[in-house]
Amino acid sequence: MADRVILHVDQNSFYASVEMLRWPVLRDVPCAVAGDPVNRHGIILAKNQLAKKAGVKTAETIWEAKQKCPDLILVPPDYARYIHYSRLARKLYCEYTDRVESFGIDECWLDLTGCPRDDGIAVAEELRRRVKEELGLTVSVGVSWNKIYAKLGSDLKKPDAVTAITRDNYLDVVYPRPVEELLYVGRATSRKLRRIGVRTIGELVDLGPSYLRSIFGVVGLSLYTFATGLDETPVTKAGREVPVKSVGNSLTTHHDLYTEQEIKAVTYMLSESVTSRLRDVGMAARTVQISMRDYQLYNFERQASLPFPTQLCYEIAPAATRLILNHFEQGQKIRSLGVRACNLIPISRLKQQSYLPHEKKREAMLRLEETIDDLRGRYGGLSVRRGISLVDRSLTEHDIKRENVIHPIGFFGP
């Protein structure tokens, strides 16, 4: 049986590249896309090559980046623009195959197996050229017979490069690489492996599947499969419908929350975004979950069942508020809050005509909230606001739905 032909296409410094396309002057200076330091979202999201050469790293704090590169120019993220370019790139990929699977906003796998054009390296070079000419961006492409090695290949040469990992070269290319470069070997797994003397992917393979399972459970078997190139996970088709299992938003606030009124204002703002997303995907929640982090960075979560499956802020926000206040102690300082709708059910399964007074009221509230969705869609998320949001504008001057982007699912699926 012939090997598959898998490509992994990674858009280089994606956020920063889109900003440089928009503002060409940024190409000649070290720049980075970063969250808002005033609202305590001060981390580096992406950086250009000049910033990278100065030592700036993704996910480090702004003040750390500025220490390395005092002349660093910071620009705020524009997620709507990034999604636009991400869709343009995927549309281009779909000209070659219908098996295009997103892995984040800026990465995709392509399966060319059985396609009219299945020369992986030739197509990779053509994609690299076309993305540059048609979108003004650059990509790095990995080519291999499995998704894991294709992903690793796209990481090996950046920017604007093609790397092939084949049956003939993978022992020399893959096995000497640091174990951290293998997909899903995070910090905790890396530390555990290093404690037993494993520093390279080849050394991980030498442990064997049984020993890895004894240490990591079934994840150990996945790591062995990934490292040896035995993974046969398919590339899913473009546009595959992914069942939504939960919808949530969280926010690190401009200042710590001290009062019940502040907590309620932020909770309602988050709940409005969550319930609007529920209506977008046609789902109703049977459970509400809240998360809190205090000023000492202590985290905890709580959840509660709802009386009826719902997609109404009118019902979810009070439930979330009660959960939070039941676990809020006087004098506690809350740094961030999150609201999540869980245990979802398609709204189509709930549609039935009812003449009970409380159901008629729920139907009226649904029409009201859908009207608000429409107004906000036309005129912006802050065009229609609750009175409680005016308690402290520094806390609630957020278009939460727009600011929080739902990215595609990861490798293991939902």
Note whether residue 268 is domain-resident: yes
In total, how many domains does the chain have? 3
One digit per residue, pLDDT tens: the chain, 414 residues? Answer: 689 999 999 999 999 999 999 999 999 999 999 876 554 456 788 999 999 999 999 878 888 899 999 999 999 888 778 889 999 999 999 999 999 998 888 999 999 999 999 899 999 999 999 999 999 999 999 999 999 999 999 999 999 999 999 999 999 999 999 999 998 888 888 999 999 999 999 999 999 999 999 988 888 999 999 999 999 999 988 765 456 678 888 887 777 888 888 899 999 999 999 999 898 888 899 999 999 888 776 778 899 999 989 999 999 999 999 999 988 877 788 888 999 999 998 887 665 545 566 777 888 888 888 888 888 777 766 778 787 777 776 666 665 555 554 444 444 444
Residues 256 and 385 in one domain: yes
Residue 131 has what DSSP assignment? Answer: I
In this structure, the answer to whether residues 276 and 349 fall within a common structural domain is yes
Q: Are residues 262 and 396 in the same domain?
A: yes
User: Has residue 408 been placed in a domain?
Assistant: no
Q: In what order do the strands lie in the sheet with 44-47?
A: 44-47, 31-34, 73-75
Query: Which domain does 196 fall in, by range?
Result: 6-12+81-228
Long-range CB contacts for residues 209-216, cutoff 8 Å, separation at least 24: 216/189, 216/192
Q: Which of 53, 78, 103 is the last residue of a domain?
A: 78
Instruction: List strand residue ranges (DSSP E) for 191-330, in order.
Output: 246-257, 283-294, 299-310
Does 359 lie in the same domain as 323? yes
**Position 411 in a domain:** no
CA angle 45, 49, 54 (to 5 degrees): 85
Supply the pTM of this predicted model. Answer: 0.67
Whole-number Å distance between alpha carbons of 247 and 283: 10
Q: Please list the active-site residues.
A: 107
Asked, for residue 1, whether it belongs to a domain, the answer is no
Residues 365, 393 within the same domain:
yes
Is the same domain home to 205 and 298? no
- Please indicate, yes or no, if residue 90 is contained in any of the structural domains: yes
The full DSSP string for 356-413 is -HHHHHHHHHHHHHHHHHHHHHHH-TTSS--GGGGS-HHHH---HHHHSPPPPP-TT-
